[in-house]
Amino acid sequence: MKILFYDTKKIELDYLSEKIPNTIEPYFFKNVLNSSTYIDEKYLNCDALSVFVSSSLDSEVLSKFKNLKFIFLRCVGFSNVDLKYCKENNIYVFNTPNYGNSTVAEYVFALALTLSKKIPQAKESIINGDINQDTLRGVELYSKTMGVIGVGAIGRKVINIAHGFGMDVLAYDVIKNGAYNFVELDELLKKSDFISINCPLNEKTRNLIDKIAISKMKRNAILINTARGEIVDTQALYYALIENKIKGAALDVIECEEYFCQSWKKCNNCTELKDICLKKFFFIQKMLQLPNVIITPHIAYNTKEAQERILDITLKNISSSFNISYGANNLVLI
């Protein structure tokens, strides 16, 4: 069975090469897979693909692989896959749930503390030799209200950690499972000092945090997004920040991030960027200059422990799909 692994990091190559079943014929590629990726004809007869969230598997890409039976995602979300095409062509899609619940939740608070305690400004003041205690004064998390949008496995971890900081918590989810303080989204936006986005991206959550939603937030609110960039309207957020309508934003994900080149110096695909994404990039670049904004390169998941869980779950998905005794699978319902 032939599987093509794209967006492969060294830790993945080493780990998978050692543990993948002998009946599997793996091929590893460093680059992402999307409509502009060159694919040698000899690989087009593969049985399966395995990709990270940075790849984009639309119908144009998937239609090239005539024998494709499985897609093994090395991530939780599957918004980067054309599920309609997969359903119509009997392609089974698997994800890796629950690999980084603690990892991502911890990162939410790493961002919250970095921004609220003005840590980047403090470092800069040391470098410049210009220390001003007044401009470096932060705020406590204790007794503040954390609003959690999306109470899945990660959202529940965020709530637990927030309680550990002595924070009050408001929760919003379309499915109200568990004994949490669920409120409507408008109430959460109006009352929260910190807002953590932990919901999946779908048509209902796309641009959920738009100009109207942001206008309901407190002026001292800090928005944290470790879910998917498209949940937040970039342009609306930028104007809210420069007009001091909210206090700050910490983003580990941004809109159109799949179009960012892995290295600006090696970027040769700029002409292929969608027009709408060029506009998003403009506002993202402007936000990077703001002192009350932190943007990191989608690394909330990126710990040694979480990475190994991803690979173990992926191996179980592969093995069970090809009827090899290894473990249970995680089929995405399409």
**Active site (annotated) includes residue 228:** yes
Tell me what pLDDT residue 192 has.
98
* Per-residue tokens: 171: 């929760």
Find out whether 252 and 111 touch, Cβ atoms under 8 Å.
yes
Domains 2-99+304-321 and 101-295 equal at CATH topology level = yes
Instruction: Please state, as a whole number, how many other Cβ atoms lie within 10 Å of the Cβ of residue 247.
Output: 20
**Active site (annotated) includes residue 163:** no
HSE value, Cβ hemisphere, 13 Å, CA-based, for 45: 4
Q: What is the mean pLDDT of residues 328-332?
A: 48
Catalytic residue among 12, 74, 156, 228: 228
May I ask the CATH class of domain 2-99+304-321?
A: alpha beta
Distance from C-alpha of 1 to C-alpha of 62, rounded to nearest angstrom: 18
pTM of the model: 0.82
Q: What are phi and psi of 155, to 5 degrees?
A: -60, -40
Q: What is the DSSP string of 5-39?
A: E-S--HHHHHHHHHHS-TT-EEEE-SS--STT---
Which own/partner pairs from 203-208 qualify as long-range (CB within 8 Å, at least 24 positions apart)?
204/174, 205/231, 206/230, 206/231, 207/231, 207/232, 207/233, 208/149, 208/232
pLDDT tens, residue by residue, 226-244: 999 999 999 999 999 999 9
Beta bridge partners of 73: 51
Residues in Cβ contact with 261 at an 8 Å cutoff, skipping those fewer than 6 apart: 267, 268, 269, 270
**Active site (annotated) includes residue 298:** yes
State yes or no: pLDDT of 258 exceeds 90: no
State yes or no: pLDDT of 333 exceeds 80: no
Q: Which CATH superfamily is domain 101-295 in?
A: NAD(P)-binding Rossmann-like Domain (3.40.50.720)
pLDDT tens, residue by residue, 170-202: 999 999 999 999 999 999 999 999 999 999 999
Tell me what pLDDT residue 77 has.
82
Which is more confidently placed, 320 or 190?
A: 190
Catalytic residue among 12, 230, 255, 257: 257
Distance from C-alpha of 171 to C-alpha of 161, rounded to nearest angstrom: 14
The SS3 call for residue 323 is: coil
Q: What is the mean pLDDT of residues 257-266?
A: 51
In 70-184, where does DSSP find H-type helix?
Answer: 83-88, 101-116, 119-128, 153-164
Q: What is the mean pLDDT of residues 24-47?
A: 95
* Per-residue tokens: 181: 């303080």
Listed by start position, the domains of the chain span 2-99+304-321, 101-295
Q: What is the mean pLDDT of residues 291-302?
A: 94
